[in-house]
Amino acid sequence: MLQQLARFLLWLTGWTPVGEIPDEPKAVIIAAPHTSNWDGFVGLTYKVAVGLDISFFAKQSLFWFPLGKLLRWLGGIPLDRSRAGSAVQKAISMFETEDSFYFALAPEGTRALKGAWKSGFYRIAIAARVPVFFGALDYGNKRIGITGRIDLTGDVDADLAEIAQFYASIEGRRPEMTTPVRFAEQKKGRL
């Protein structure tokens, strides 16, 4: 019943689900662009509508009662942003211990315009040896879904160029707040 309600909410708000659930048992899924508080609501509604079992980090301050119970049920994992460096290792450990595991991240890290994406998704996927799928919140066309894939090569420049090409036509709710696809710590193709 909840799945039907989520499908109805997507339809009511004009969103069309596109793409398919990954056919891999484990994957990192990029959720981009992330320019609005509405992204989380639309993304979680999509997750329920298509029956996608996916985990994600959310800032620890959101895990108050009763919202915290709902977020955990939806796959949320509290993230202490003051210890953000430990998040990558925590995600890698989850990939190592689970037989099937999808993990979503918003590489922009925030809704505000920043100079670069955070590299956590990349480091997690490389260390866990899993593919990265492109989750898109395309407000321009009101489409949401997982519609692309990259098997990272370790050549950061080439991999990010392919990711940037995919997201070039995807429009966030506030396009002027879309962070460019690059890493701040990127130097000559390495992190």
For residue range 93-126, list pLDDT tens digits in order.
999 999 999 999 999 877 677 789 989 999 999 9
Of 45, 52, 167, give the one whose Cα is nearest residue 106. Answer: 167
Domain boundaries, the chain: 2-177
Distance CA 102, CA 98 (A): 10
DSSP structural state of residue 178: P
Rounded CA separation 182/161 (Å): 9
In sequence order, what are the beta bridge partners of 149?
133
User: Cα torsion at 119, 122, 127, 129 (round to 10°)?
Assistant: 170
pTM assigned to the model: 0.89
13-24 pLDDT tens trace: 999 999 999 999
